[in-house]
């Protein structure tokens, strides 16, 4: 049974960089034909795809966030990570990591990140 777990600071100051890690267990992050993605949900609002990384290392980002987002993978630790730079209060959200092919079959439980001084 694949499990994903987000980790990282729950509070980030404005203008700083948000950094989260997703640890994958019960399966290999190097599995072919899967993407590993990040999705966020501001409090009381809908879902927004942030970006994804393919098992080969190719990355795909939401055009509205592309200039601030970096997703990377560490196969030795079976983890992938999200960095979002120059954050503002608008980046306050629950951040989910997920495994997907086309659709998103497996999700982490989510972690709330608040941007505040």
Partner 1 sequence: AIQMTQSPSSLSASVGDRVTITCRASQGIRNDLGWYQQKPGKAPKLLIYAASSLQSGVPSRFSGSGSGTDFTLTISSLQPEDFATYYCLQDYNYRTWTFGQGTKVEIK
Query: Would you tell me which residues interact with partner 1 (CB under 8 A)?
Result: 37, 46-49, 52, 60, 62-63, 96, 98, 100, 102-105, 107-110
Shortest distance in whole angstroms from residue 72 CB to partner 1: 18
Q: Which residues, at least 6 apart from 22, have a Cβ–Cβ distance to it below 8 Å?
A: 4, 5, 6, 7, 36, 38, 79, 80, 81, 82, 97, 108
Shortest distance in whole angstroms from residue 96 CB to partner 1: 6
Shortest distance in whole angstroms from residue 5 CB to partner 1: 12
Helix H or strand E segment including 66: none
């Amino acid at each position: 049974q694949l499990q994903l777990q987000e980790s990282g600071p729950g509070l980030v100051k404005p203008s700083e960089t948000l950094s989260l890690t997703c640890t994958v267990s019960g399966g290999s992050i190097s599995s072919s034909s899967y993407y590993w993605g990040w999705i966020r949900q501001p409090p009381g609002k809908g879902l927004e795809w942030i970006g994804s990384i393919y098992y080969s290392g190719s990355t795909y980002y939401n055009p509205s966030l592309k200039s601030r987002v970096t997703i990377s993978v560490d196969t030795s630790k079976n983890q992938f990570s999200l960095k979002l730079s120059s954050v503002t209060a608008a980046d306050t959200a629950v951040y989910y990591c997920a495994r997907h092919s086309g659709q998103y079959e497996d999700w982490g439980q989510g972690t709330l990140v608040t941007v505040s001084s």
